[in-house]
Chains A and B, each alone.
Chain A
Amino acid sequence: MLYREAGDFSTSYTADNQTFPIKFDRYRYYFILVIAFLVIPFFINDYWANAILVPFLIYSIAAIGLNILTGYCGQVSLGTGGFMAVGAYSFYKLMTAFPEISIMLHVLLSGCVTAVVVTLFGLPSLRIKGFYLAVATLAAQFFLVWMFNKVPWFYNYSMTGMIGSPERTVLGIVVTGPHTDAWAQYFVCLIFVTLCAVMARNLTRGSVGRKWMAIRDMDIAAEIIGVNPLKAKLSAFAVSGFFIGIAGALYFGVFLGAVEVTEAFGIEKSFMVLFMIIIGGLGSIFGSFAGAAFMVLLPVFLKNVFVGGLGWPTDLAAHLNFVIAGGLIIMFLILEPHGLAQLWRVAKEKLRLWPFPH
């Protein structure tokens, strides 16, 4: 009923090829964009921005990045935390070295720097696969964190080894530093999320994405039908690195404002982003958002219910949070191994037929 192509006639190839071919879906997408861009900025406060929406948006970018590499191209990576650190530190170096250039450009540039670094660490993927590749990316994670802690040039020789983002403006509006308004912070992240999601969606729909999926499904067969594994794998690493770098730059510059590499970009971060895409759904852009929402919102929600609502001790709530989050992850993996994105797909199928069962 709700979800039907019936009555929606495409008269051109472009119309037929669009991202959301079903009218209802398209309007829903526009509706969400309008809400996100035109409604939320007027109502957002510091708590909603800093505790919920900004981390959600930033983790969504990181999840999209990892999803391209792991979900679409099948190369398992445990280096996300380290790669985010590359984005954050290149953003820091760029914004302190060239303060006159817009930070929007710096975010993109740090994405590019990360893309180069990730491609370098992706080179072993041409020889090693599966778990062995995961171990190689794990090495990247530890090496990068160690390097950012060891080499003082990266943190501008600051005494504590921490990096802090100075105040920078875009079109006269403060977007980094302590005087940032909640809406500006949110808006910057939203712009990058939208850009990344549209880019990722269109890349994965086109020939590049098909090559990645061919490599993921069976690399030998893909090679036989003419997919160049060198190009396909390395392009997946580069694109993934670009997104993860943007996420790292925003995480440091816009969200936290001051980070310390071992604490902010440790192995836990890599696992967290990996859990996001597994729970959300491998090989799905929507899944990246759903997984990020799940991992970011659940702890805040549980905390507010247990401590704020029920008045329980904070340590009990924190421990219960681990139990519930862990339990839910296991439950999801058993009941729906393809993640939240698959639930969404099933729901759409059902909606198409509703109210009839078949």
Chain B
Amino acid sequence: MKIKLTSIVLGAVLATGPALADLVMPMLSYRTGPYAVNGIPFADGFNDYLTLMNERDGGVGGVKIDIRECETGYNTEKGVECYEALKGEGALVFAPLSTGITYQLIPKATADGIPVHSMGYGRTSAKNGKVFSNIFNYPANYWDGASIAIKHIMDLEGGNINGKKITLLYHNSGYGKEPIRTLEELAIKHGFTYTGIAVDHPGQEQKSQWLQIRQNKPDYVLMWGWGVMNQVAIQ
């Protein structure tokens, strides 16, 4: 036990490392777990882009970017561990890459004064900068996504979707539930019938949901999926 604790201290000390003058960019990635199919390409792209910035432009304003990757596995507990570890290393901005971890970090990061960039995910109401001073979710958010999808359907239908049936097949989590309110409001505004069908984490099993869709015969199905849920649905 004692030995283990000392080695942890050693590990923690090693992990903290020397203070660098570089820009510390933490990257919370998930290359493991049920959502790795989305996590690996994203993490690689993020890494590649920042490396490109370093190599081509010499970093941002002449200061190199120091990428610190931390594996979360889309798991909130690990995300917290990553946040605390990277916060100690002087992280400049966090991109949690998971709606669950974002919700978790919004109050913490605001209290610690660290900005969070949840790019198109996380808490949509964070768009209100008066309340959520440290949270940025540009370029888009879930509500935008939902209304764009409806607008596209309207374009396909020639501008009138009155009486149509639209089903939302969503991931049963904070991530999937975000657009529901928007769609319900839009359903009243445009006169279509909205039905929500939930798929539970991780989304491997969707037979009953698709049976329900077949019975309902909706005109359009919007899928709000992530990770393995998408492959299963498309197959």
Contact = CB atoms under 8 A, between A and B. Distances in A.
Given A178-B111, A258-B104, A262-B172, A47 B12 contact: yes
A2 B140 CA distance: 66
Given A178-B110, A314-B70, A315-B31, A309 B80 contact: no
Contact of A47 (B73, B75, B85): B85
Interface stretch (A49-57, A78-86, A233-241): A49-57
Interface stretch (B159-167, B173-181, B227-235): B173-181
A255 B81 CA distance: 11
Contacts of B123: 160
Contact of B201 (A263, A314, A322): A263
Interface in B12-65: 12, 14-17, 29, 31-32, 40
Chain B contact residues: helix, strand, loop or mixed: helix
6 contacts: A47-B12, A50-B83, A178-B107, A262-B172, A307-B71, A315-B29
B111 A179 contact: yes
Contacts of B78: 299
A178 B29 contact: no
Contacts of B77: 55, 256
A50 B81 contact: yes
Most buried by A among B15, B87, B198: B15
Contacts of A55: 77
A260 B84 contact: no
A152 B49 CA distance: 41
Contacts of B4: 297, 301
Chain A contact residues: helix, strand, loop or mixed: helix
Interface residues of B, number: 51
A264 B76 contact: yes
A309 B13 CA distance: 9
A245 interface: no
A313 B71 CA distance: 9
B30 to A, nearest CB: 9
Contact of A160 (B12, B15, B31, B103): B103
Most buried by B among A160, A260, A293: A160
Contacts of A264: 76
Given A47-B84, A314-B69, A304 B11 contact: yes
Contact of A164 (B11, B103, B111): B103
Given A51-B80, A297-B4, A314-B70, A161 B174 contact: yes
Leading 3 A-B pairs by shortest Cβ distance: A308-B15, A304-B11, A315-B31
